[in-house]
Structure 1
Amino acid sequence: MSTEESEPELDIHREDRRRCTVLHLVGNLGGEAPTRLRDEMVPAMRGRVSPCIVLDLQGVDTADLNGIASLIAALKRLRSAGGRLMVAATPQQVLRSLEERRLDRPFDFYDDLAQALHMIESSG
């Protein structure tokens, strides 16, 4: 019997708000993350003229290159739909990985979810 533990799966909890949808990510941002994130983003974008999605990464434990790629794909998907992606509570490991590859510039990062939501409400 193997004692190897696999990386925890990514859980995504969706919270629809008046001006945006918040996706709370919990677990490992890697492996199947691109598929899971896409599957949650499509319905969140449906029916909105300028979709706004906030990714709350507070519960993310680890991230690999697939996870980083899923963030970039999410950004591209929203921008092509005329929307906005905001990233809140980004773990230092994820932020460092993006910065090292110079991929952090196109993202709107916020220290925590409250700060991102405040920005949405104050932008009128």
Structure 2
Amino acid sequence: MKEVKIYTIVSDQLSPPITGESFCTDMVRHSDYAELEAKYAALAEVLESARNEGINYAASRLAAAFNHGFLDKPVSEVLDVTRMILSAKEDLANNPLPTDDGLSGEYAEKSIEEWADQ
């Protein structure tokens, strides 16, 4: 992609004039902006795909741990947790901006520390 050039124009030369704190306004060409929007949309698809792959990986690791005898829990509990993990794909699709702690892993890391201390 070519570099986006930023143009500066005197604010009162615009139609309608822009009033504000500055006498100049930075602008980009429409074609450059459209190209940026297309690139952003492509990156959003990559992000969604990567999130889904991570969620699938986590659910698969849990299922494998159970199937190989590393979890001493009833199948119903493992099933519920696996479904909960997989439902995160729908949650993220419906709300692409999760809560502050949604994807950081902080909660899980703190829980691991607490469990290790027990």
Same fold (TM over 0.5): no
Highest RCO, 1 vs 2 (Cα 8 Å, sep ≥ 6): 1
More helix by share: 2
More strand by share: 1
- Determine which structure has more spread, i.e. the larger CA radius of gyration: 2
